[in-house]
Amino acid sequence: MKRFFSKNNQTILSVILISFSVGAMVSFTIVRPAFTKDMIKNAVSIAGLNFDEKEIELLQDDLEDQVKTFQKNWESNLPNHVSPALVFNPLPQGFRLNTSQTPVQFDDYSNTEMPTSLNDLAYYSIGQLAHLIKTQQITSVDLTNFFLQRLKKENTRLHCVITFTEELAMQQARQADKEIKAGKYRGLLHGIPYGAKDLLAVKNYKTTWGAVPFKDQIIDYDATVIQKLNEAGAVLIAKLSMGALAWGDVWFGGQTRNPWNIKTGSSGSSAGSASAVAAGLVPFAIGTETLGSIVSPSTICGTTGLRPTFGRVSKYGAMALSWSMDKIGPIARTVEDCSIVFDAIRGKDEKDASTIEAAFNYDANFDWKKLRVGYVKKDFEQTYSFHNQDSIALKNLQAMGIELIPIELPETKDITFILEAEAAAAFDQLTRSNLDSTMVRQIRNAWPNVFRKARLIPAVEYINANRHRTQLIEDMAKVMKDIDVYVHPSWASSSLGTTNLTGHPCVVLPNGFNSNGMPSSITFTGQLFGESTLLSIAKAYQDKTQHHLKHPELY
Domains and CATH numbers, the chain: 1-77 (no CATH), 118-358+365-413+464-549 (3.90.1300.10)
Q: 432-471, pLDDT tens digit by residue? A: 999 999 999 999 999 999 999 999 999 999 999 999 999 9
State mean pLDDT over 269-289: 98
Residue 33 banded pLDDT, cuts 50, 70, 90: low
The pLDDT tens digits for 285-320 are 999 999 999 999 999 999 999 999 999 999 999 999
Q: Is the pLDDT score of 42 beyond 80?
A: yes
Mean pLDDT, range 340-360, rounded to an integer = 98
Instruction: Quickly count: other Cβ atoms within 10 Å of residue 149's Cβ.
Output: 11
161 and 169 in contact (C-beta within 8 Å)? Answer: no
pLDDT at residue 2 above 50? no
CB atoms near residue 555 (< 10 Å): 17
Of the residues 125, 197, 273, 298, which is catalytic?
197
User: Cα separation of 528 and 310, whole Å?
Assistant: 8
pLDDT of residue 486: 98
Whether omega for the bond prior to residue 269 falls within 30 degrees of 0, making it cis, is yes
Question: In this prediction, what percent of the chain has a pLDDT beyond 90?
Answer: 91
Asked whether the beta carbons of 486 and 406 are under 8 A apart, the reply is no
**Beta carbons within 8 Å of 144's beta carbon, 6+ residues apart:** 169, 170, 172, 173, 191, 193, 235, 237
Which pLDDT band holds residue 429 (cuts at 50, 70, 90)? very high
State pTM to two decimals.
0.93
Q: What is the CA radius of gyration of the chain?
A: 24
pLDDT at residue 419, as a whole number:
98
16-20, 411-415, 418-422: the lowest-pLDDT one: 16-20
Q: Check pLDDT > 50 for residue 64.
A: yes
* Whether 184 is catalytic: no
> Residue 77: what pLDDT?
87
Kindly tell me if the per-residue pLDDT of 335 is higher than 70: yes
83 in active site:
no
The values of phi and psi at residue 74, to 5°, are -60, -30
Catalytic residue among 293, 296, 322, 324: 293
d(CA 161, CA 295): 20
pLDDT of 18 > 80? The answer is: no
320 touches 295 (CB < 8 A):
no
Average pLDDT (482-488) is 98
The pLDDT of residue 4 is 33
Are residues 39 and 9 in contact, defined by beta-carbon separation less than 8 angstroms? yes
Residue 82 has pLDDT above 80, yes or no: yes
Taking Cα atoms as reference points, which of 336, 281, 258 lies closest to residue 507? 336
* pLDDT at residue 501 greater than cutoff 50: yes
Environment class of residue 553 by beta-carbon count within 10 Å: exposed (0-12), middle (13-18) or buried (19+)? exposed
Note every long-range contact of 119-124, with CB atoms under 8 Å and residues 24 or more positions apart, other chains counting: 121/146, 122/146, 122/147, 122/150, 122/280, 122/281, 122/555, 123/280, 123/333, 123/549, 123/551, 124/283
Work out the mean pLDDT of the chain and round it to a whole number.
93
pLDDT tier for residue 35 given thresholds of 50, 70 and 90: confident
Length of the chain, in residues: 555
- How confident is the model over 73-102, as a mean pLDDT? 95
DSSP secondary structure of 261-303? EEEEE--SSSHHHHHHHHTTSSSEEEEEESSSTTHHHHHHHT-
Question: Residue 6: its pLDDT value, please?
Answer: 35
DSSP element (H, E) containing 507: strand 506-513
Q: Judge whether residue 24 has pLDDT over 90.
A: no
Distance, CA of 173 to CA of 135 (rounded, Å): 15
| Pairing status of strand 13-17 against strand 28-31 | antiparallel
Q: Give residue-wise pLDDT tens across range 221-245.
A: 999 999 999 999 999 999 999 999 9
Residues forming beta bridges with residue 406, ordered by sequence position? 375
Mode of pairing for the β-strands spanning 250-251 and 404-407: unpaired
Question: Given this model, what pLDDT does residue 555 score?
Answer: 85
Q: 3 pLDDT exceeds 80?
A: no
Catalytic residue among 269, 354, 495, 521: 269
Q: Residues 122-127: what's their mean pLDDT?
A: 98
269 is known as an active-site residue:
yes
Task: Provide CB contacts within 8 A for 490, sequence distance 6+.
Answer: 295, 299, 386, 496, 508, 520, 521, 522, 523
The predicted structure's pLDDT at residue 554 = 85
Helix (H, G, I), strand (E, B) or coil at 326: coil
Q: What is the pLDDT of residue 433?
A: 94
Higher pLDDT, 47 or 524: 524
C-alpha to C-alpha distances, 132 to 56, 118, 126, 171, 280, nearest whole angstrom: 74, 12, 10, 20, 17
pLDDT of residue 32: 61
Report the pLDDT value the prediction gives residue 135, as an integer from 0 to 100. Answer: 98
Over residues 527-555, the mean pLDDT reads 96
